[in-house]
Structure 1
């Protein structure tokens, strides 16, 4: 086997579909390559094709789940790793819609995760791509660094400097990816932070830990505050340790396996010390990865059993609320007698990776005066997918625009989701369409209903 400590230079990008230069032979090293048994589960039935975003965009077999599995199989059997092969794997959003659609139970999530870890170890990316990834992963998984950025960014928004820079197009000429990062930033208000302990209102029914996250903590702190209030109103003592860090989801998603594993170990340590019944998550991508620590740390003798126990405690906010059952009274969020039409957007890592579909809808339907409508083609990703919309801005924008059009077709007055990445991505797409729709997190709407506050 090739030495996995020696990466291979990927070279400069060329036209899509014309990158056949061999990077490594054989393609994979012997550290956790895609499982042959999991690869053999795919019977090429084609059920995945209608739900795969990139197949819908391009109609290319190698940009479908079964096509990418064919490439994995060829690589596992000793074939070469080529630039074209890496292109097809990089183009995958990792949305896991194929996992939901597959009648054979193919675990594509584990296959693409193992494959991307191989690529990240064995491929030296072009200098600009490498620099961009270093910026992303040197910033986003670190709340303190995001907090340092937050102040200047808020000042630039309030003074109009950010809009002025955007109008010049200068950033886009330097890097389309940096332009996307600039445009995705949500409007920033005063920073909100969850207390380390929020006591239950009334009788205590559970003690739960709460992941505060990275981007969620610094850019959507109000969502965290709302989450803690809702949990407390439903009888939970909420523990949010200040020393918690990143869950590792962004790193694992793109194949930075050891980096993600180290974040996971630290988070397990933090919540083991907190003594909680469950760990509640309000960001779909984070919850998905935390439930998979059992696989990520399976080879770590010091953490394998602890990871299994930790993953078993992880719950999405909607899961824990439905399981507990409501005790807090829900009130309308509109003026008396008015109906509010709401569309719920399924975050991929909640709908497909975690299988949490009915619970958010059950919670929303319990709010008086709210009419829930479904978004057409709801199973197709919005294009956010972790940092996919930064690394692959063109297909991400097309998917975002398609999602925006489907949302607008519902006539919804309010849009609700359970993931910060989706919120930023779709907000931007709706603005491009010239028809912005108010967009809130599930926790924000529930908090308003319990408090009797109006949102419309």
Structure 2
């Protein structure tokens, strides 16, 4: 019996199969299939723990799980489904050999997205591809769909790319010094949404923080850990810990990254060298909105006359329990009207690499979320995770609709710098 078996047994037994998770599970909502619900998947985990080999049908049900953690929020028994699915996915990757095409797509994803320098090398060609209109031609032909649904999803999700400003290693506090914080720049966030990082650094500085941005930081490991590539995730985690040990607080502006960093203590718990260092890093990781509320406002807020719809990213709301803080920051901006989106607990379908590996299910969930966003009548969608921003914008595009998208940092930045709605909405 392995250490994972020792861990899984008690966690599986916590589930009493009450069904409270069913209405919050995105795949159960879509299909109504018991084995595509959390308790159904836990039943499959129990079968495997009792000796049933991991076969293709079992793998398919595990792969269809988004890992959104809505079931963790809704469970009255405190079942740690987040840990159950991560351990199970690691077991799948160890014991199940995927078809060649599937392995190739997964390897492409994990050799590209966790490496900012590789993403940066892709920016130039991708920007030219968008600016020449070749992207529209390729989509009309459907050639990528026929070649690989995952590649087609990757191409559709790419946001419009502009210039990518580079941040210095340190941004000085304005006014009196209140704190020194480290800032994670991320992978997709850094290369596809650089304006979010720039806005984050400015907001922190205007609130009196010296912002340390280590040049040697890389991927936090979130994509790897959430996909069962645990050893790869551990290596990314060790590098991240080493990059940020000199600061007292690490501010994160991407929900999936923040969730992963807060769980380093679990990921590296068995490592006698890195375990204590992981525990220390997990204690000082904060979502940007969480940290700003703890710090309290000092910089003056100026009016931003915009109606926004705030989207709860799953790894912020469910995994980290950060719901009130983004809303509190937005409510503190004069002139801003915040509208709630129906069914906020149901994932938009992004879920890390899910919209690449399960594009059909992801598209169905994206369409649901897009319809709910449109029902708010908002001018601007605010989301605290790059994957969610790309997913919902793409779903709206399929409907022939567009909406401006911003991160809470960008909305706050527009207020603090007196830039108003013009900074957030196209002319």
Instruction: Give the TM-score of the pair, scaled to structure 2.
Output: 0.97
Aligned to 2:85: 112
Question: Please, which runs of 5 or more residues in structure 1 have no aligned partner?
Answer: 2-29, 335-339
Question: Please, which runs of 5 or more residues in structure 2 have no aligned partner?
Answer: none
**Deviation readout 1:374-422 (Å, 9 max, x if unpaired):** 1000100000000000000000000000000111111111110100000
CA–CA distance in structure 1, aligned partners of residues 55 and 401 of structure 2:
43
1:314 to partner: Cα distance: 0.2
1:166 to partner: Cα distance: 2.0
CA–CA distance in structure 1, aligned partners of residues 80 and 42 of structure 2:
11
CA–CA distance in structure 2, aligned partners of residues 76 and 222 of structure 1:
46
- SS for the counterpart of 1:246 is coil
Aligned to 1:292: 263
Residue 319 in 1 paired to residue 268 in 2? no
The answer to whether the 8 A contact 1:86-1:119 is kept is yes
Equivalent position to 1:100, from 57, 73, 81: 73
CA–CA distance in structure 2, aligned partners of residues 165 and 394 of structure 1:
19
Deviates more, 1:157-166 or 1:390-399: 157-166
Equivalent position to 1:358, from 300, 312, 324: 324
Deviates more, 1:92-101 or 1:434-443: 434-443
CA–CA distance in structure 2, aligned partners of residues 76 and 227 of structure 1:
45
Aligned to 2:338: 372
Counterparts of residues 123-202 of structure 1 (less than 5 Å): 123-202=96-175
CA–CA distance in structure 2, aligned partners of residues 253 and 447 of structure 1:
31
Residue 81 in 1 paired to residue 54 in 2? yes
Counterparts of residues 443-454 of structure 1 (less than 5 Å): 443-454=409-420
1:215 to partner: Cα distance: 0.7
Aligned to 1:38: 11
Aligned to 1:16: none
Aligned to 1:308: 279
CA–CA distance in structure 2, aligned partners of residues 245 and 425 of structure 1:
23
- SS for the counterpart of 2:174 is coil
Aligned to 2:176: 203
CA–CA distance in structure 1, aligned partners of residues 31 and 53 of structure 2:
24
Equivalent position to 2:381, from 406, 411, 415: 415
Equivalent position to 1:437, from 403, 416, 424: 403
Aligned to 1:389: 355
The answer to whether the 8 A contact 1:156-1:162 is kept is yes
Relative to its length, the structure with more helix (as a share) is: 2
CA–CA distance in structure 2, aligned partners of residues 81 and 144 of structure 1:
36
1:79 to partner: Cα distance: 2.0
CA–CA distance in structure 1, aligned partners of residues 145 and 55 of structure 2:
29
The answer to whether the 8 A contact 1:261-1:296 is kept is yes
Equivalent position to 2:367, from 380, 386, 401: 401
Q: How many residues were matched structurally? A: 421
Moved over 4 A (4+): none
1:120 to partner: Cα distance: 0.6
RMSD value over aligned CA atoms?
A: 1.0
- SS for the counterpart of 1:209 is strand
- SS for the counterpart of 1:238 is strand
**Deviation readout 1:4-54 (Å, 9 max, x if unpaired):** xxxxxxxxxxxxxxxxxxxxxxxxxx2524521111111111110000000
CA–CA distance in structure 2, aligned partners of residues 297 and 202 of structure 1:
39
The answer to whether the 8 A contact 1:193-1:224 is kept is no
1:276 to partner: Cα distance: 1.1
CA–CA distance in structure 2, aligned partners of residues 322 and 158 of structure 1:
40
1:121 to partner: Cα distance: 1.0
CA–CA distance in structure 2, aligned partners of residues 413 and 147 of structure 1:
31
